[in-house]
Amino acid sequence: MNYEKDITLTLGQPPSLNKFYAGKHWTYRKRLGDEYKKQVKQLLENFDCFTISNFSLSISYNSRYDCDNSILCSKFVADALVEKGFVADDSTKYYKSLRICYDENLPKGVYVVKIKYND
């Protein structure tokens, strides 16, 4: 799939998947998710709202997390795109692919998310 446009967001480290589901009450998980989505939404404020017909996420990061432990970054970015009205939902109709890659050249604790999309 060829994407015509992209947005790059530089974010902090999300909660790890292990920490997120380590026997914590749902209210704790909700609070962590809401805090991270707030960070994403604040960055999305720099862009005029538009409608995304389909998108792909490419995440580069530098933290101690394994790639699979970084998956919540994807989840919260996709959720924020929906909540801010950029895309109808994060189903396979719209959300086409995900790539997560460790990058030791980034500063510690930094996640760079490239949202590639068609409108």
**pLDDT at residue 118 in the model:** 93
pLDDT at residue 113 above 80? Answer: yes
SS (H, E, C) the chain: CCCCEEEEEEECCCCCHHHHCCCCCHHHHHHHHHHHHHHHHHHHCCCCCCCCCEEEEEEEEECCCCHHHHHHHHHHHHHHHHHCCCCCCCCCCCEEEEEEEECCCCCCCEEEEEEEEEC
pLDDT at residue 24 above 90? Answer: no
**pLDDT at residue 16 in the model:** 86
Q: Write the pLDDT tens digit of every residue in 53-98.
A: 999 999 999 999 999 999 999 999 999 999 999 999 999 999 999 9
**pLDDT at residue 101 in the model:** 97
**pLDDT at residue 11 in the model:** 98
**Mean pLDDT taken over the chain:** 93
CATH homologous superfamily of 5-118 equals Holliday junction resolvase RusA (3.30.1330.70)
pLDDT at residue 23 above 80? Answer: no
pLDDT at residue 49 above 90? Answer: no
